[in-house]
Amino acid sequence: MVDETSAVAPPPRLHLRVRRGLRHPANWFQLGRFATVGASGYVVNLAVFAFLVHVLSVNYRLAAFFAFAIAVLNNFWWNRHWTFDASDGHPGFQAARFFAVSIVAFGFNLAILVALVSGADVAKVPAQAIAILCALPVSFLGNKLWTFRRG
Protein backbone atom coordinates (compact mmCIF):
# COMPACT_ATOMS: atom_id res chain seq x y z
CA MET A 1 0.00 0.00 0.00
CA VAL A 2 1.30 3.45 -0.94
CA ASP A 3 1.02 6.30 1.50
CA GLU A 4 -0.55 9.19 -0.44
CA THR A 5 1.45 11.79 1.48
CA SER A 6 4.75 10.27 0.30
CA ALA A 7 3.71 9.58 -3.30
CA VAL A 8 5.67 11.54 -5.90
CA ALA A 9 3.69 13.24 -8.62
CA PRO A 10 4.70 12.29 -12.15
CA PRO A 11 6.51 14.96 -14.15
CA PRO A 12 4.28 17.09 -16.37
CA ARG A 13 3.84 15.93 -19.94
CA LEU A 14 6.09 17.44 -22.57
CA HIS A 15 3.35 19.45 -24.28
CA LEU A 16 2.42 21.01 -20.92
CA ARG A 17 6.06 21.92 -20.26
CA VAL A 18 6.35 23.46 -23.72
CA ARG A 19 3.11 25.43 -23.29
CA ARG A 20 4.29 26.77 -19.91
CA GLY A 21 7.71 27.57 -21.35
CA LEU A 22 6.22 29.58 -24.21
CA ARG A 23 4.49 31.85 -21.70
CA HIS A 24 7.72 33.01 -20.04
CA PRO A 25 9.37 36.04 -21.71
CA ALA A 26 12.79 34.99 -20.37
CA ASN A 27 12.65 31.91 -22.61
CA TRP A 28 12.07 34.10 -25.66
CA PHE A 29 15.07 36.28 -24.75
CA GLN A 30 17.11 33.12 -24.28
CA LEU A 31 16.02 31.93 -27.73
CA GLY A 32 17.14 35.29 -29.14
CA ARG A 33 20.58 34.90 -27.53
CA PHE A 34 20.74 31.33 -28.89
CA ALA A 35 19.94 32.59 -32.40
CA THR A 36 22.57 35.32 -32.06
CA VAL A 37 25.19 32.74 -31.07
CA GLY A 38 24.07 30.57 -33.99
CA ALA A 39 24.51 33.51 -36.35
CA SER A 40 28.03 34.08 -35.02
CA GLY A 41 28.77 30.38 -35.54
CA TYR A 42 27.51 30.67 -39.11
CA VAL A 43 29.91 33.58 -39.75
CA VAL A 44 32.79 31.72 -38.05
CA ASN A 45 32.05 28.63 -40.14
CA LEU A 46 32.06 30.55 -43.43
CA ALA A 47 35.15 32.59 -42.52
CA VAL A 48 37.18 29.51 -41.52
CA PHE A 49 35.95 27.62 -44.59
CA ALA A 50 36.87 30.46 -46.96
CA PHE A 51 40.29 30.93 -45.32
CA LEU A 52 41.14 27.23 -45.53
CA VAL A 53 39.95 26.84 -49.12
CA HIS A 54 41.14 30.10 -50.65
CA VAL A 55 44.24 30.99 -48.61
CA LEU A 56 45.62 27.59 -47.58
CA SER A 57 44.22 25.59 -50.56
CA VAL A 58 42.72 22.90 -48.31
CA ASN A 59 40.29 20.45 -49.94
CA TYR A 60 36.76 21.77 -49.49
CA ARG A 61 35.51 18.60 -47.73
CA LEU A 62 38.28 18.78 -45.15
CA ALA A 63 37.77 22.54 -44.85
CA ALA A 64 34.05 21.97 -44.19
CA PHE A 65 34.90 19.54 -41.38
CA PHE A 66 37.33 21.94 -39.69
CA ALA A 67 34.99 24.90 -40.16
CA PHE A 68 32.12 22.92 -38.55
CA ALA A 69 34.35 21.86 -35.64
CA ILE A 70 35.52 25.41 -34.92
CA ALA A 71 32.00 26.81 -35.24
CA VAL A 72 30.70 24.17 -32.80
CA LEU A 73 33.42 25.11 -30.29
CA ASN A 74 32.54 28.79 -30.71
CA ASN A 75 28.83 28.09 -30.22
CA PHE A 76 29.42 25.85 -27.22
CA TRP A 77 31.47 28.47 -25.41
CA TRP A 78 28.99 31.30 -26.04
CA ASN A 79 25.93 29.18 -25.27
CA ARG A 80 27.48 27.82 -22.09
CA HIS A 81 28.56 31.22 -20.75
CA TRP A 82 26.00 33.64 -22.21
CA THR A 83 22.83 31.97 -23.52
CA PHE A 84 22.27 29.41 -20.75
CA ASP A 85 24.75 30.68 -18.12
CA ALA A 86 25.55 27.06 -17.30
CA SER A 87 29.10 27.41 -16.00
CA ASP A 88 28.24 25.39 -12.89
CA GLY A 89 28.09 22.09 -14.83
CA HIS A 90 31.08 20.02 -15.95
CA PRO A 91 32.29 21.49 -19.27
CA GLY A 92 33.38 18.15 -20.75
CA PHE A 93 30.02 16.56 -20.03
CA GLN A 94 28.19 19.58 -21.45
CA ALA A 95 30.45 19.64 -24.53
CA ALA A 96 29.70 16.00 -25.33
CA ARG A 97 25.98 16.64 -25.04
CA PHE A 98 26.25 19.87 -27.04
CA PHE A 99 28.06 18.04 -29.84
CA ALA A 100 25.45 15.26 -29.82
CA VAL A 101 22.63 17.82 -30.08
CA SER A 102 24.54 19.62 -32.85
CA ILE A 103 24.84 16.38 -34.83
CA VAL A 104 21.10 15.66 -34.45
CA ALA A 105 20.22 19.22 -35.49
CA PHE A 106 22.63 18.95 -38.44
CA GLY A 107 20.95 15.69 -39.50
CA PHE A 108 17.53 17.36 -39.30
CA ASN A 109 18.90 20.34 -41.24
CA LEU A 110 20.37 18.07 -43.91
CA ALA A 111 17.12 16.11 -44.32
CA ILE A 112 15.15 19.32 -44.85
CA LEU A 113 17.81 20.68 -47.22
CA VAL A 114 17.76 17.54 -49.37
CA ALA A 115 13.94 17.47 -49.37
CA LEU A 116 13.77 21.10 -50.48
CA VAL A 117 16.48 20.86 -53.14
CA SER A 118 15.66 17.42 -54.53
CA GLY A 119 11.96 17.14 -53.80
CA ALA A 120 10.70 20.72 -54.08
CA ASP A 121 13.31 22.06 -56.54
CA VAL A 122 14.20 24.99 -54.27
CA ALA A 123 17.52 26.72 -55.02
CA LYS A 124 20.34 25.55 -52.73
CA VAL A 125 21.11 28.73 -50.78
CA PRO A 126 17.46 29.59 -49.98
CA ALA A 127 16.86 25.92 -49.14
CA GLN A 128 19.79 25.99 -46.70
CA ALA A 129 18.45 29.19 -45.12
CA ILE A 130 15.05 27.52 -44.61
CA ALA A 131 16.63 24.31 -43.29
CA ILE A 132 18.74 26.23 -40.76
CA LEU A 133 15.62 28.00 -39.45
CA CYS A 134 13.76 24.68 -39.22
CA ALA A 135 16.62 23.09 -37.25
CA LEU A 136 16.95 26.01 -34.83
CA PRO A 137 14.14 24.86 -32.47
CA VAL A 138 15.53 21.31 -32.43
CA SER A 139 18.93 22.58 -31.39
CA PHE A 140 17.57 25.11 -28.89
CA LEU A 141 15.28 22.63 -27.14
CA GLY A 142 17.94 19.91 -27.10
CA ASN A 143 20.45 22.24 -25.49
CA LYS A 144 18.02 23.89 -23.09
CA LEU A 145 16.38 20.67 -21.89
CA TRP A 146 19.37 18.31 -22.01
CA THR A 147 22.82 19.87 -22.50
CA PHE A 148 22.55 22.85 -20.14
CA ARG A 149 19.56 21.88 -17.99
CA ARG A 150 19.58 23.05 -14.39
CA GLY A 151 19.58 20.64 -11.48
pLDDT computed for residue 40 by the predictor: 95
From the list 85, 84, 96, 78, the residue with the least C-alpha distance to 37 is 78
Can you tell me whether residue 5 is helix, strand or coil?
A: coil
What's the pLDDT tens digit per position in 5-15? 555 666 667 66
What's the pLDDT tens digit per position in 107-131? 898 998 889 989 999 888 788 888 8
Instruction: Give me the domain span that covers residue 82.
Output: 14-147
CA distance 81 to 60: 31
CA distances 24 to 30, 31, 64, 79, 104, Å, are 10, 11, 37, 19, 26
**Is residue 6 one of the residues assigned to a domain?**
no
Are 127 and 117 contacting, i.e. CB atoms less than 8 angstroms apart?
Answer: yes
pTM: 0.70
Judged by average pLDDT, the poorest of 8-22, 77-91, 93-107 is: 8-22
- The per-residue DSSP string of 62-131 comes to HHHHHHHHHHHHHHHHHIIIIIS--TTS-HHHHHHHHHHHHHHHHHHHHHHHHIIIIIS---HHHHHHHH
**Is residue 2 one of the residues assigned to a domain?**
no
**Is residue 131 one of the residues assigned to a domain?**
yes
pLDDT computed for residue 149 by the predictor: 86
pLDDT computed for residue 129 by the predictor: 82
Instruction: Give CA angle at 32 (26, 35), nearest 5°.
Output: 145
pLDDT computed for residue 14 by the predictor: 63
**Is residue 34 one of the residues assigned to a domain?**
yes
Instruction: Answer yes or no: is pLDDT of 16 > 80.
Output: no
Instruction: Band the pLDDT of 68: cuts 50, 70, 90.
Output: confident
Q: How many domains does the chain have?
A: 1
Task: For the chain, give the mean pLDDT.
Answer: 85
